[in-house]
Chains A and B, each alone.
Chain A
Amino acid sequence: DAKTTQPNSMESNEEEPVHLPCNHSTISGTDYIHWYRQLPSQGPEYVIHGLTSNVNNRMASLAIAEDRKSSTLILHRATLRDAAVYYCIRGGGFKTIFGAGTRLFVKA
């Protein structure tokens, strides 16, 4: 049970922002929200995580809804290298469970 819901796939144009949604309606007060991405033929890599406040790093931004039941990963300017499967994970820590994720296609 991945405990999160994401669209199967999304498409974006290069150089445009991308908003990847995630629903986690059963989240508890202490659960962090983590995002990982998996490029073709590679292991997943950490992107960003947060608890309540919006978070920014060099890769992306994470916007967390006020009720914490959903979040959005924001890639500010998509590049072809951002084409990957993006996983939203609720909780983290022991037994981190991955769902099917969202496959992002980026068009040149």
Chain B
Amino acid sequence: NAGVTQTPKFQVLKTGQSMTLQCAQDMNHEYMSWYRQDPGMGLRLIHYSVGAGITDQGEVPNGYNVSRSTTEDFPLRLLSAAPSQTSVYFCASSRTGDSPNSPLHFGNGTRLTVT
């Protein structure tokens, strides 16, 4: 199993550009989520999904869109990038999101810089 795969690893955008951060998992996990991590800080939850076709907002959803058309994939879209979105983005998955007995598996992150 590859686990949770994020692409790209690095990205530089200009203000106003759009892009999609990709996340795929091969563990047949129901739950997937996106976090951002700013320098020296903990992770903040952006959006999450409890299964295909179902998404919901986390702590900091503004400026980001998500969709979940398949169990495997959970892309994060930035429609109009802003410098405040410069961060490292992590995707995570777990077997079932509603069980506290189901640990999260993380990808290695996408480092995004918006100039």
> Quick one: which of B33, B43, B50, B106 contacts A45, CB cutoff 8 A?
B106
The yes or no answer to A14 lying at the interface (CB within 8 A) is no
Report chain B residues within 8 Å CB of A32.
Answer: 100-101
Known contacts A44-B90, A98-B35; A93 and B50 CB within 8 A of each other: no
Question: In the assembly, what is the distance between CA of A94 and CA of B55, in Å?
Answer: 12
Q: How far is the CB of B56 from chain A (nearest CB, A)?
A: 8
Report chain A residues within 8 Å CB of B39.
Answer: none
Q: What would 27 A/B residue contacts be, using CB atoms closer than 8 Å?
A: A2-B42, A30-B100, A31-B100, A34-B100, A36-B104, A42-B109, A43-B90, A43-B92, A43-B107, A43-B108, A44-B90, A44-B92, A91-B100, A92-B104, A93-B98, A93-B99, A93-B100, A94-B48, A94-B50, A95-B45, A95-B48, A95-B59, A96-B33, A96-B104, A97-B59, A98-B43, A101-B42
Chain A residues within 8 Å of B, Cβ to Cβ: 2, 30-32, 34, 36, 41-46, 49, 87, 91-101
